[in-house]
Amino acid sequence: MKLLFVASECAPFIKTGGLADVIGAVPKALAAEGAQVRVLLPAYPALADQLAAGTEVLRLDTLFGGPARVVAVTAKGIDLLLLDAPHLFDRPGNIYLDSSGADWHDNHHRFAALSFVGAQIATGALSGWAPDVVNAHDWQAALVPLYLRVAGSDVPTVMTIHNIAFQGVFPSATLATLDLPDFAWRQDVGEFWGKFSFLKCGLMLADRISTVSPTYAGELMSPDFGMGLDGVMRVRRDVLSGIVNGIDLDVWNPETDPAIPQTFTSRTLRKKAVNTAALRERFGLEDSGGPLFCVVSRLTTQKGLDMLLEVLPALIEQGAQLALLGSGDKGMEHAYADAARRHAGQVGAIIGYDEDLSHLMQAGADAILIPSRFEPCGLTQLYALRYGTVPVVARTGGLADTVVDANLAAIDTGCGTGVQFTPVTALALEQAIARACALFGRKDLWSGLQKRGMKQPVGWNASALAYLSLFKGLKNN
Ligand code: ADP
């Protein structure tokens, strides 16, 4: 089974969120099952070393305004195909946003180019290698099925939705510059309320659609979660499936993690306290005797962190503390920095993106707060489970699928791993925090939650098999 993944991020090379973690981990998990995956990725500046070490396998005289080539290289165990198009991807800063925080003015060209080259490779542009199935990830790769259709190719495609909030919707005039056929503009293809939607195009034309948890797959068909594409999802429900994300167990392993001061296992859980002390020190927090909650997140309303600001006084009143690592919405960044000043010693906030610190937070915190209004899968609760950090989560999407609420029945039967709450309101969040604090006070119950979480299978094994069976079904057709 030969697979081409087309994506805009891949950890550890370039990452803005969970998409990168998934693209960095699934190929290895699929390789363990005998599949060969190549990942087509833009050659951003962060990939300069890999680009220099690779071999040119394709040259295009012109690709949306400049010359381009594809360079093959294997790095960190991943077979990368780097799309080297300096006029589109060789620029500083965020891969999607310019220095003012606005989308790059030519994002439609940049990611149409990625999709176009993905389709070229699928139809045999590389000598000696072509995929059996193409898996396009998120809107940045969503024009692959369209370009394949244009090329008259029947190479099967899977469109994977990592977050339907990001759709790649552009003004209709955009279409004229993308070299697309008229049918792309049809209402049952890419037209979206008078504009053109990359993601809708992919969802309408792909042979299969997958998303990153079963609960999110169901939610996507409802107006509350479909973000305007719920009708499309209902039309295509027969080809839609939800496969929960796993995590890279080599990177996120409390027994070997080089980024934390003290490694530990479920048997040596007491050693976690060394990390907790280090985390408190890093955030300038005193030891209150209460639980230390953490947040590692983009700061957006999706993540419900505006609600957490509202309930901070109640959290502190319970004797609990908060350490937050995040960046994103400027208003929220200021609000958390301000909260840390006002509640110094009880609340700490580091505004920024810091991969190593995110490991210390998972290793040191007692619990992690994830009050998301929607969460396609969520990875931070999976890391938390593995590090004996109890997840306190909104009951939505992948959070609902991966955390078992420690209600009375779950405690009696010994199967709880965290705290879930619904509806997703500030009040319910406050009550969930209170419940977590009460559980924390019962050391026997708390360590039961931690140990069960640590034993939960959060790797890729089961999900890699599910993806493989999806791909095999298409290949056999
Ligand atoms: P999303 O993809 O919606 O941002 P996920 O939970 O699926 O949410 O994945 C987020 C990923 O980004 C996780 O690996 C998390 O550890 C990481 N992350 C988010 N914010 C930060 C930050 N400020 N510093 C370091 N890592 C972060």
For residue 318, how many other CB atoms are within 10 A of its CB? 18
For residue 327, how many other CB atoms are within 10 A of its CB? 16
pLDDT digits (tens, 9 = 90+) for 334-388: 999 999 999 999 999 999 999 999 999 999 999 999 999 999 999 999 999 999 9
Q: For the residues 247-262, what does the mean pLDDT come to? A: 96
pLDDT at 178: 85
Q: Which of 135, 138, 118 is nearest to 27 (CA)?
A: 135
Q: Among 296, 332, 370, 374, which is best to mutate for testing ligand 1, by the most ligand atoms less than 8 A from CB?
A: 296
Q: How far is the CA of 384 from the centre of ligand 1 (A)?
A: 12
Residue 476 has pLDDT above 80, yes or no: no
Protein residues with CB under 6 Å of any ligand 1 atom: 17-18, 21, 163, 296-298, 325-327, 353-355, 358, 377-380
Q: For the residues 393-416, what does the mean pLDDT come to? A: 95
pLDDT at 231: 98
pLDDT at 179: 78
Q: Which of 106, 104, 49 is nearest to 82 (CA)?
A: 49
pLDDT at 346: 97
| C-alpha to C-alpha distance for 212 and 119, rounded to whole angstroms | 23
Q: Which of 111, 148, 105, 146 is nearest to 8 (CA)?
A: 111
Q: How far is the CA of 373 from the centre of ligand 1 (A)?
A: 16
| C-alpha to C-alpha distance for 210 and 58, rounded to whole angstroms | 30
Domains of the chain (ranges; CATH) run 2-246+460-476 (3.40.50.2000), 269-454 (3.40.50.2000)
**pTM for this prediction:** 0.94
| C-alpha to C-alpha distance for 144 and 464, rounded to whole angstroms | 22
Q: What are the tokens at 222?
A: 């409802």
Share of the chain above pLDDT 70, in %: 100
Q: What are the tokens at 233?
A: 């999802």
Q: Among 358, 372, 387, 396, which is best to mutate for testing ligand 1, by the most ligand atoms less than 8 A from CB?
A: 358
Q: Report residue 176's pLDDT band, with 50, 70 and 90 as the boundaries.
A: confident
Q: How far is the CA of 308 from the centre of ligand 1 (A)?
A: 17
Residue 377 CA, closest ligand 1 atom number: 7
Q: What is the end-to-end Cα distance of the chain in Å, rounded?
A: 14
pLDDT at 174: 80
Q: For the residues 309-319, what does the mean pLDDT come to? A: 97
For residue 225, how many other CB atoms are within 10 A of its CB? 21
Q: For the residues 245-252, what does the mean pLDDT come to? A: 92
Q: What are the tokens at 232?
A: 């499309």
Dihedral of the alpha carbons of 144, 146, 150, 151, in degrees to the nearest 10: 20
| C-alpha to C-alpha distance for 203 and 217, rounded to whole angstroms | 13
Q: What angle do CA 394, 295, 21 make, to 5 degrees?
A: 85
Residue 288 has pLDDT above 90, yes or no: no
Residue 217 has pLDDT above 80, yes or no: yes
Question: What sign for the dihedral angle of Cα 303, 307, 309, 315?
Answer: negative
Burial class from Cβ neighbours inside 10 Å (0-12, 13-18, 19+) for residue 184 reads: buried
pLDDT at 172: 87
Q: How far is the CA of 248 from the centre of ligand 1 (A)?
A: 14
